[in-house]
Structure 1
């Protein structure tokens, strides 16, 4: 998300309550807009379909199918998202804009080809007993989502935030409309609407990118050179996404906590909805995260390294380091405050929301612990963002590896303790990762001048 601070600082310069509200609203929408639209779009298709003629089990099959598509495509493309963004950033720094579009085309071709091969293998093995139309639509949706995640992270790196949000809004408006119009065709009709909306979304992203960056060559593969692969970033992208989804996969896999929905796909009724609702609660925290980290911290970060490069005095360099530390502390403290309010809101509104959705109040403790875990994850994202600015890739890799492994271990451990402890594994994993990260950040900032001058 580097660069969004420029937009936010313009709003904050107004020095008014309106400017402050605009900055936080803009940050919240940009930070969480795409995935909020995704969740709301899928839920709208389900709710509106249930209200008409589509049998409830078909709607459930649609939502579970899409959830699996999103999870697996995120994990697969996590390998290239961060690494390719770094490649683009380096080329922009070198003012070699002319090779960006051709490399984007090359990466997109590789991702689509790999996703297509994996999808075809699964279609003829695990999904062999299902209809041809369903398998083709699942294959298409998987390929499109893989392309969209690559394009989204690419456009985010180019600071085209408003365009991304508008494209997502258009794509999911088409998804909901087309799915509702195709309800007479059942599950295949709902999936067809999903595929159509995401096809429009991917094409729109590609057109926007090609318009912004012109290239004399259509396809090139400089990003695959050994000097530009960034294997640590590739591993970080994979491990972080896998860590986020690991507990969900485990609850979907265990017979005691899940049900078979369609073919090999399973879902956990007791786990999925509280998790989705908990993630909606982090929108305010994401707004604070972006405003504080991408404005205050980045401002002093730039001053610190500008002074290092320009030969500034040691006193000034140390002052800028101290301001960086203070801005990080303030940002994390504000995230903690706003997510505490979100936690209290979940406790107060949870029973009424569950009653409205006709969900048993037995699931409320799981909602509370998942809201806490999601709030901690916002803090972890802020922490990782700071480490990315400091180019501490090995440290980030270690944190993401611990996050992934500990989520699997703790989820399995608490699963054995019974239903009362569901969700505690993920929360404990995020908490420990955050604490280790805070300890490492404190040490890094304390040695920042030494490492900057002596280890570069």
Structure 2
């Protein structure tokens, strides 16, 4: 995110209203651009062009979910690995290692597809087109991380815009009534144009080495938590949907093996869209305000400042952290409360009276999810990987257990409550842990460092204690 932070700071330092608005727009596109572009392109295909093909709808929803969850095994680790390679200026290793991750993730996806369709038989054209779309989206998520890691942030955004345009175009050109494969392959073709553009960005910036490298596997021992952090977060995010889909009361099966819950999915999707402001604000404050105090503190550690100066910078960083988190929370609270009121007076489009109770709970849950994600990323900012992983697992288990209880025992008016409760607990516990760790960051950072003396030249405290007892 260094390139993003540099551009945002440059925009804000100009001090004009227009440049401030441009910085906000820039932050929106970086933090939520792919999501917004993808959502708008799908909305145009499904609503404007009135594409009601059930095969296409099923393929789109499940390909996104499956590809995102599988990519969760790689993208957190990929981000960290690329950061390390950039820091050590080993740029030519980046693209070959990303290709190696693509090979491994694709093999996992193919294995899952083989097992799934072995138990859920469908026509060959649907199996092939659905698998191709899912594989394309998985490749897009992983390749776009490499693209964003370059300084070509404008081209990163442009790649998604071009992808969205061609997905709409090709899906409309090739898709016809009773020609579901045309819709699916047309959309997948647009996605592949986006993949090519992201690949081109990474290729130009990181070098023209076309090898496939698995050297990154050796680093998984060091950063194994990153592999599970993304995966467990996405599971925690989706598990309540899965429980609702497979419940006999609220689930529907439009195609064999594919479950939905239209009464739950529509309001929850609208709720998810409301966290875009939090993502935007988080990028703004992280890269323009908080990073400055963060950098000053770590500079003081690296340059060997005296303890009092380090303590002053730590307290300044902690104060800035609390202020920035509260700022993001206040902005999101205003937006969520406004939408909450609009929902109560029936002014939100596409939300019928029967969906209002679910959206009511979903808005609260989405808001807490955005706060939780912000805290988890801050924990990773300080490299507290174990804490982030344990939090994700806890939120996942809470959401899973409560989803089963609420869906099967309490019914309709409790739908979405497990999601809200799980992320509420995760947010408050995570924030307390974050503040505690940052408050003790000086000691923690010194404990992380390896001793600069060789074994044999020092004694552990327990060894000294034992020696003194023997002398008595």
TM-score, normalised to structure 2, is: 0.89
Residues 74 and 146, structure 1, Cα contact 8 Å, conserved in 2: yes
2:143 maps to: 151
Q: Deviations over 1:102-121 (max 9, x none)?
A: 21222222222332333244
How many aligned positions are there?
447
- Residue among 237, 242, 245 paired with 2:235: 242
2: CA distance between counterparts of 1:204 and 1:89?
Answer: 21
Residues 228 and 389, structure 2, Cα contact 8 Å, conserved in 1: yes
2: CA distance between counterparts of 1:257 and 1:221?
Answer: 44
Residues 3 and 294, structure 1, Cα contact 8 Å, conserved in 2: no
2:160 maps to: 168
Question: Cα RMSD (Å) of the superposition?
Answer: 2.0
After superposing the two structures, state which structure 1 stretch, 176-185 or 86-95, moved more: 176-185
Residues 354 and 360, structure 1, Cα contact 8 Å, conserved in 2: no
1:314 maps to: 307
2: CA distance between counterparts of 1:307 and 1:356?
Answer: 52
Q: Secondary structure at the match of 2:74?
A: helix
Q: Deviations over 1:126-181 (max 9, x none)?
A: 442x2222111101011111111111222233354322221111112111121122
1:66-105 matched pairs, under 5 angstroms: 66-105=60-99
After superposing the two structures, state which structure 1 stretch, 105-114 or 290-299, moved more: 105-114
Q: Deviations over 1:7-47 (max 9, x none)?
A: 21111111232232222221122111111222222222111
Q: Deviations over 1:273-322 (max 9, x none)?
A: 11111111112121111111222111111110111111223232222212
* Closer/same/farther in 2, CA of residues 96 and 196 from structure 1, 3 Å limit: same
Consecutive unaligned residues in structure 1, runs of 5 or more: none
- Residue among 127, 136, 153 paired with 1:135: 127
1:63 maps to: 57
Deviation at 1:187, TM superposition (A): 2.1
Deviation at 1:426, TM superposition (A): 0.2
- Residue among 102, 109, 128 paired with 2:103: 109
Residues 403 and 419, structure 2, Cα contact 8 Å, conserved in 1: yes
2: CA distance between counterparts of 1:291 and 1:425?
Answer: 30
Consecutive unaligned residues in structure 2, runs of 5 or more: 450-472
Deviation at 1:351, TM superposition (A): 6.1
2: CA distance between counterparts of 1:355 and 1:237?
Answer: 32
Bigger radius of gyration, 1 or 2?
A: 2
1:145-294 matched pairs, under 5 angstroms: 145-184=137-176, 185-216=178-209, 218-226=211-219, 230-294=223-287
After superposing the two structures, state which structure 1 stretch, 150-159 or 372-381, moved more: 150-159
* Closer/same/farther in 2, CA of residues 135 and 351 from structure 1, 3 Å limit: farther
2:455 maps to: none
1: CA distance between counterparts of 2:346 and 2:132?
Answer: 35
Confirm or deny that 1:324 pairs with 2:317: yes
Residues 127 and 135, structure 1, Cα contact 8 Å, conserved in 2: no
